[in-house]
Every structure is written in structure tokens, then in C-alpha cells.
Amino acid sequence: MVSNKHYCDMTIAARHANPLIGLFDSTSRLRGRLKSAFEDASEGLALSDMEMTVLNAVAETDAPPTVPQIGRALGHPRQVIQRAANTLVQTGLIAKVPNPDHKRAVRLVATETGYALKRKANARAADIANAILGSVDAGLVTEVNEKIETLRKQIEAHFRQNPRN
């Protein structure tokens, strides 16, 4: 059995050995904290976390995505995304549209009902975000977000060039 102190020492050593390990740890913790902070944004909307995540992925894209594209972008198995998408289609929040590039992998679009629900969740999220921004440096948040987006794009480019690792 590993003691808590030993685990912390291993984590600190790993963070210093490779900055991506430290980033993974920090972003995992931050994601958990933000998820907790924003959970009230979707309260009462009758959607699971994954269903809300898929609705966001569909509603916030420039081009209608496929289930596999959403899975890859979010790091979730296709089957998990498919189940959530099926529920969203059944409830009328998203719709399937033909994909000219692939016969079986339909594209997904948000319906007006889906956009309305998303606007409601976004309004609640904005209230939560504004309350939090009263206690944190908004400029720092913007700067960190820009850097994370730049890093994400670099990592995605790496995997396009090196699909096996």
C-alpha cells in the first residue's frame, strides 16, 4: 500500500520530470473544480452531464459533427457519445442530417429546442462565471485559456503527424 505522503512525493517528482504530467494533474483538478462550480447551470434541465456535453459539442461547432468526431475531440469512447446523442435525438434537442462524406456516420445539428435549452444553461453559467470572476483575475483566466488553446492545437498537430503516440 502506498502512503499518502509517498504518493504526493511521486506526484511532485512526476510533475518536475515532465511538464505535461504536471499539466495533466493541474487540468484534471481544475476541471473537477469547475465542473463542481458549474453543476447548477444545468440543474433542472433533465440532461445528464454527458448529454449536456454532447449538446454543447453539437451546438458550438461551425460544421455539424459526427459521433466519432465528438468522441475524439472530447476523449470519450464513441459508444458513450452515441448513447447520449441517441437520447438527445429522441428528446428533440438534436437531429441527424445526411453526411455527404460518409453514408453511415450522420452529422448532428442542434434543433431550435436544443439551442433554447443551451441558451438557458448558458445564462445560468454566465451568472456563475461572473460571481467567480469577482474573486479571480479575469486577465489571467483569458491568458491561461489562450495558452491552453495554443497548446491543445500543438498536441493535436502532434497526433495528426504521429497517430500511434
- DSSP conformation letters of 16-67: HH-HHHHHHHHHHHHHHHHHHHHGGGGTTS---HHHHHHHHHHHT-SSPPBH
For the stretch 81-129, pLDDT in tens is 999 999 999 999 999 999 988 878 899 999 999 999 999 999 999 999 9
pLDDT surpasses 90 at 13? no
Model confidence at 16: pLDDT above 70: no
CA atoms within 13 A on the CB side of 114: 25
Reported pTM: 0.74
Do 7 and 63 share a domain, yes or no? Answer: no
Within a domain: 52 = yes
Structure confidence at residue 34 as a pLDDT band (50, 70, 90): very high
pLDDT band at 68 (very low <50, low <70, confident <90, very high): very high
Q: Distance between CA 151 and CA 74 in Å, rounded?
A: 15
74 shares its domain with 26: no
Residues 6+ apart with CB under 8 A from 98: 106, 107
Return the sign of the alpha-carbon dihedral for residues 118, 124, 127, 129. Answer: negative
Evaluate whether residue 26 is within a structural domain: yes
pLDDT score, position 1: 58
How confident is residue 154, by pLDDT bands cut at 50, 70 and 90? very high
**Residue position matching grid coordinates 493541474:** 26
**151 within some domain:** no
> Which residue range is the domain that position 87 belongs to?
45-111
Predicted confidence at residue 10, as pLDDT, reads: 54
Which CA distances in Å does 74 have to 46, 60, 67, 122? 22, 13, 11, 19
What average pLDDT does the structure give for the chain? Answer: 90
Domain count, the chain: 2
Task: Find out whether 87 and 118 touch, Cβ atoms under 8 Å.
Answer: no
